[in-house]
């Protein structure tokens, strides 16, 4: 593909995120290679990038970088692309009949912006109202982390977390708010270190103003965003 065309595609993609579905754009052959094969290939790709930039890959400090980056992509920051690694969302019967809202707040999020491959760092706040099932608290943190370990846009990640919990808990009454800093905005481009991005998804009862207000009061965010 000519460089002009690639640049045009990237420009168009900049606005295209609003049209993507809640699934990450993965090809159907995404898991035909083993993780070891992916690491070996990415190692070569990163080597090529550094070589193109003129780096001396015989230097002691950076000779291990391509392999390090490859392992980090496959086994750490993009490991959540693999459905096999989806956390088991163990649920229990709500025998004690707790009928109020449960909020798991200030869940740390480390994700990666799919447009620049730079970090997204922030907090997720998740809430649900039980319809008979309750979920282990840590499972909410694990579900957030699973969807964060992908090349992401914040809107999609917020919706994926809600959909996963709705399924696990068998209720639409689930909500998620994420407040995160995008290093692609903070450290390059517009370089606005102060700004952060808030996204929300309010399912079922959380669409009602009073229920939503209660959730936002727990996490101390106002509705003016």
Ligand X SMILES: Nc1nc2c(ncn2[C@@H]2O[C@H](COP(=O)(O)OP(=O)(O)OP(=O)(O)O)[C@@H](O)[C@H]2O)c(=O)[nH]1
Which residues carry a binding-site annotation for Zn(2+)? 113, 116, 184
Least distance from C-beta 188 to Zn ion, angstroms? 8
Active-site residue flag, 17: no
The site partner of 189 among ligand X, Zn ion, none (C-beta below 5 to 8 Å per kind) is: ligand X
The residue (of 9 and 208) whose beta carbon lies closer to Zn ion is 9
Active site residue 182: yes
Strands 133-135 and 91-93: antiparallel
Which residue, 11 or 208, is less far from ligand X as judged by CB? 11
| Distance (Å, whole) CA 85 – CA 57 | 33
Binders in 148-187 for Zn ion, by CB under 5 A = 184
Least Å distance between CB 118 and Zn ion?
5
Known binding residues are 113, 116, 184
The tokens describing 13, both together, are 């993609």
Structure tokens at 53: 């930039």
113 is catalytic: yes
How far is residue 92's CA from residue 137's CA, in Å, rounded to a whole number? 11
115 noted as active-site residue: yes
99 alpha carbon, distance to own chain's centre: 29
Query: Which residue, among 151, 148, 86, has the nearest Cα to 114 in the 3D structure?
Result: 151
**Which residue's CB is nearer to ligand X, number 98 or number 225?**
225
| In the complex, least distance from residue 213 CB atom to ligand X, rounded to whole angstroms | 26
Q: Is 195 left (phi over 0), alpha (psi -120 to 50) or beta?
A: beta
CA-atom Rg of the chain in angstroms? 20
Chain residues that interact with ligand X, rule: CB under 6 A: 10-11, 14, 17, 113, 115, 153-155, 182, 184-185, 189-190
Is 125 a catalytic site residue?
A: no
Q: Which among 140, 126, 134, 132 is positioned nearest to 203, based on CA atoms?
A: 126
Q: What number of other Cβ atoms are within 10 A of residue 17's Cβ?
A: 13
Residue 176 annotated to the active site? no
Per CB under 5 A, contacts with Zn ion among 64-123 are: 113, 115-116
State in angstroms the smallest separation of the CB of 128 from ligand X.
24
DSSP-assigned beta bridge partners for residue 135? 91
Q: Which CB sits closer to Zn ion, 192 or 217?
A: 192
Residues that bind Zn ion (CB under 5 A): 113, 115-116, 184
Show which residues are catalytic. 113-116, 154, 182, 184
């Amino acid at each position: 593909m000519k460089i002009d065309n690639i640049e045009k595609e990237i420009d168009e993609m900049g606005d295209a995120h609003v049209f993507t579905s809640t699934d990450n754009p993965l090809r159907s052959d995404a898991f035909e290679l083993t993780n070891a094969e992916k690491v070996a290939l990415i190692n070569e790709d990163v080597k090529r990038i550094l070589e193109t930039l003129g780096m001396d890959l015989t230097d002691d400090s950076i000779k291990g970088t391509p392999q390090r980056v490859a392992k980090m992509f496959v086994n750490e920051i993009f490991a959540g692309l693999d459905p096999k690694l989806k956390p088991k969302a163990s649920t229990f019967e709500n025998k004690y009949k707790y009928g109020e809202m449960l909020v798991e707040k200030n869940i740390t999020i480390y994700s990666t912006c799919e447009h620049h491959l730079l970090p997204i760092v922030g907090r997720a706040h998740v809430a649900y109202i039980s319809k008979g099932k309750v979920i282990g608290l840590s499972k909410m943190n694990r579900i957030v982390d699973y969807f964060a370990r992908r090349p992401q846009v914040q809107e999609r990640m917020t919706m994926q977390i809600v959909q996963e919990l709705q399924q696990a808990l068998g209720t639409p009454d689930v909500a998620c708010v994420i407040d995160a800093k995008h290093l692609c905005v903070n450290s390059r481009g517009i370089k606005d270190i102060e700004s952060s991005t808030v996204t929300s998804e309010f399912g079922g009862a959380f669409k009602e103003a009073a229920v939503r207000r209660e959730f936002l009061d727990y996490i101390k965010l106002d509705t003016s965003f």
